[in-house]
Structures are given as C-alpha cells and as structure tokens.
Amino acid sequence: MPKYANITGWGKCMPPAVMTNDDMATIMDTSDEWITSRSGISERRVSHVPASDLASVAGLRALAAAGLVAEDVDLLIVATCTPDTVIPSTAAHVQKKMGAANAAVFDLNAGCSGFIYSLSVATSMIRAAGYKKALVIGCERITWFLNWSLRDSAVLFGDGAGAVVLEPSEKESGLLASHLGCEGDALDALIVSNFGTAGDRFVENYGNFDVNFDGREIFKRAVRGMAREIRKVLSDLEFSNEDIDLIIPHQANARIIESLAHHLSVPMSQVVLNIQNYGNTSAATIPVALVEALDEGRIKSGDRLLLAAFGAGLTRGAGLIRWGERTTPLAQSDAELPPCDQTALEILSDAIKHTQ
Ligand SMILES: CC(C)(COP(=O)(O)OP(=O)(O)OC[C@H]1O[C@@H](n2cnc3c(N)ncnc32)[C@H](O)[C@@H]1OP(=O)(O)O)[C@@H](O)C(=O)NCCC(=O)NCCS
C-alpha cells in the first residue's frame, strides 16, 4: 500500500453574483461598518445554481490541473451541509454532472470542518484501501437556505466550491497527520432544528432552514478547539510552530483567525485570509483558500501547510500537508457555470420575501 496521498490537482468555482454589505443593509437592519468590524467580511457570492453545479465545475478544474479526466476518478467525496437533495447524495449529482462513472461516491457532513474530515478519509482510503484517484470537493449553497430576518447569521455566509485531487505517492507529501473531533455537548450552539427527522413535520415553519446561533460561544470554542487539534498534529509529527510555512484556516471570522495566529505566534503574513471576498462558505472555505494561495504563488514545493477548522457539531479538525513538487496546473479546464444574468438580490428575492 502507498505511504502517502499527494495532492496533484486543485480547482475552485465561485458563482459570479456578488452581494456586498451595502446590499445586505438594504434588506435588514445592519451596516457595512458592523459586518466588516465584527467579522472581516466585505462581500459574499450568491449562487444561481445548486451546490452540485459549483462542485462539478470545481472538480473538473481540479482534474484538469492533475492531467486527469472524470472517468479516472475512483473515489469522490463531497463535503457539504447544503445538499442538492437529501436523497440521493450531492456526490451522486456531481458524479452524473461530471461523468465520473467509475467513482464510489458519498457526502460527508461535518459542517465547516467537512473538508478536513474528507481529506483525512480520502487519504486513509488511498493508503489503506487501494483507491488511486480521489476527488475531494467542499461545496455549499448556503444563501439558498438562509433566513433573511436573522441578521446575526445571514450576514456571515456565502456560496462556493473548491476541490483537490489525491493520488498515491511514495514521496513524503499530502496530509501527513490530522486530528478530528467534536463537542457534541454544545451542538445547540449552531443548529438548524426545523429541518430533518427530529422536527415536527406538521408545524408551520417545518422545512425552513433557520440557523440558530450562539456566535460568542462558538467563537470561544473555535479558537480553543482548533488550537487543541493543532497541538496534537504538531506533536505527532514532532514539529513546532516554526515548521509551519502557511496556515490555511477555516474562514468564519477574521478575528477568530487573528486569535489563532496570535495563539500560535505565527504572523498574519503566513496566514491565508480571503473572508473579505466570500464570507463563510463552510466546507468550501479551505479548498478555495488553498487554490487561491497556489494561484498567488504563496505555496512552494515542499512547504508545510497547516489546516484548521471548526463548525456545526461542534466539529473541529486540524491537519498538516506537505506540498508535493508541482505548484502549477498541468492543464486548464474549460468547464464553466451556466451564465447568470441576475444580481445577487434578484436571485434571493423570493427567499427574502418568504423569510421576512
Ligand atoms: C457572530 C459574530 C460575528 C458576532 O460578533 P460579536 O462581536 O460576538 O457580536 P455580538 O453577538 O456580541 O452582538 C453585538 C450586537 O450586535 C448586534 N448584531 C448582531 N448581528 C448584527 C448585524 N448583522 N448587524 C448589526 N448588528 C448586529 C447584536 O444584536 C448585538 O446587539 P446588542 O449588543 O444590542 O444586543 C461572532 O460572534 C462570530 O463570528 N462567531 C462565530 C462565527 C460562527 O460561528 N460561524 C459559523 C460556524 S463556522
């Protein structure tokens, strides 16, 4: 069995419609000043298509970067908490749209930690179960579900997708160590309780997707939980903070990321921060940030990248990636989303009407 699962391809797909903080202030009692100063977010993307469309385009771009085609994929994991349908999985929709007919497919829902969880699972399946071409995608269409009368949560999220391809390798590369966890005792801090089999199906708001949210509690637990998992990862590898070249954290709040960097004594120049452009895209944040770091030339061959995330559950995870040799794509894909001729507020107009 191979020792490592190297990352050989990467791609992202951000929907084109932009919703600024000023747009947000036209539909609820908020302001650019509040959102920017409390969260670091300036704007976010609003998707005009289901999550699986974003995932498929990101996936095809990642495959092109690895010099592969969809039929090569034997394992497809989609990290999402905003599935196209509950049955079947979003991964099945993605398989069909991409033409990845030879892949075993499943969704993994670990909230915003979904990408780290999925990367860990795919790495293990390559190292222990003989899979050879794994595609791991984080994708979300959260704006579709948001309740636009709940200003504390509605301003924080956005849509998008990011993907990586993993292949077996004997050279030290890919995810070298990871630690995953969950604080189930605090699951009520971030819960959508009126959607699913635990809800009363016949009450009036059943099927709405109202995010109940205790931002302060999550904030505290996020910094503590990520730091705990990071310490375990570094200790497993006998690394110290100085061995980290770049941190690619989950993007939920710029202040959480700054606290984490401070805690690790790593300067913000070594941290990828793109929350200002996209808000929190949940399971998509880390792969999107990874792709952007590569595009900007911030990752060199052999670099050590630290990932850390937390999310609904309250899940948490951290992982350390040793980047392989190649930092440029082998080819570009011509995959594109269908054109969008609406503004973000136009896409959301029915949802805003029904939730206000
Ligand atoms: C949500 C979050 C940005 C709030 O920041 P905060 O500094 O803790 O703000 P608070 O919750 O203390 O709210 C402060 C005030 O702003 C108000 N407020 C909340 N949302 C607002 C908005 N969108 N616009 C304007 N005011 C708002 C509150 O009502 C509160 O008013 P009050 O003091 O009169 O009661 C922050 O707690 C956070 O990022 N938490 C974690 C994020 C997260 O969990 N993401 C999802 C999981 S990955």
pLDDT at 205 over 80: no
Among 131, 132, 75, which Cα is nearest to 108's? 75
Spatial neighbors of 88 by CB under 8 A, at least 6 apart, are: none
Distance separating alpha carbons of residues 82 and 197, to the nearest angstrom: 16
What percentage of the chain reaches a pLDDT higher than 90? 89
| Residue 43, C-beta contacts closer than 8 angstroms, at least 6 positions apart | 18, 19, 20, 21, 276, 277, 278, 279
As a whole number of angstroms, the distance between CA 124 and CA 19 comes to: 38
User: CB neighbours of 328 closer than 8 A, spacing ≥ 6?
Assistant: none
Q: Confirm if 318 and 233 have CB atoms less than 8 A apart.
A: yes
pLDDT digits (tens, 9 = 90+) for 92-104: 999 999 999 999 9
If you measure from the C-alpha of residue 162 to the centroid of ligand 1, how many angstroms do you get, rounded to a whole number?
27
- Helix boundaries (H) for the chain: 21-25, 32-39, 51-65, 90-98, 114-129, 151-154, 215-237, 254-264, 275-278, 285-295, 344-347, 349-354
- Cα separation, 294 vs 120, in Å, equals 21
Q: What is the mean pLDDT of the chain?
A: 95
CA dihedral 31, 36, 38, 40 (to 10 degrees): 150
Contact 324, 58 (CB under 8 A): no
Q: Is the pLDDT of residue 208 over 90?
A: no
Q: Which atom of ligand 1 is nearest to the CA of 312?
A: 47
Q: What is the pLDDT of residues 120-158, one digit of tens each?
A: 999 999 999 999 999 999 999 999 988 898 899 999 999
**Residues 9-37 pLDDT 10s:** 999 999 999 999 999 999 999 999 999 99
pLDDT attached to residue 7: 98
Residue ranges lining ligand 1, Cβ < 6 Å:
30, 34, 38-39, 112, 151-152, 155-156, 190, 215-216, 218-219, 252-253, 280, 310-311
| Whole-angstrom distance, CA of residue 200 vs CA of residue 178 | 38
C-alpha of residue 27 to centroid of ligand 1, in Å: 17
Query: Torsions phi, psi of 297, nearest 5?
Result: 70, 25
Q: Write out pLDDT tens, residues 273-315.
A: 999 999 999 999 999 999 999 999 999 999 999 999 999 999 9
pLDDT of residue 325: 96
Q: Sketch out the chain's domains with CATH numbers.
A: 1-356 (3.40.47.10)
Catalytic residue positions? 112, 250, 280
Q: How confident is the model at residue 196 (pLDDT cuts 50, 70, 90)?
A: confident
- 217 pLDDT more than 80: yes
User: Does residue 9 contact residue 294 with C-beta atoms inside 8 Å?
Assistant: no
pLDDT of residue 220: 93
Rounded distance from Cα 215 to ligand 1 centre (Å): 6
Atom nearest to 216 CA in ligand 1: 37
Taking the model in full, what pTM does it have? 0.97
What pLDDT, on the 0 to 100 scale, is given for residue 201? 81
- Going by pLDDT thresholds of 50, 70 and 90, the confidence category of residue 40 is very high
How confident is the model at residue 314, as a pLDDT?
A: 96
Average of pLDDT values for 324-337?
Answer: 97
pLDDT one-digit tens code per residue, 232-271: 999 999 999 999 999 999 999 999 999 999 999 999 999 9
Q: What is the mean pLDDT of residues 346-350?
A: 95
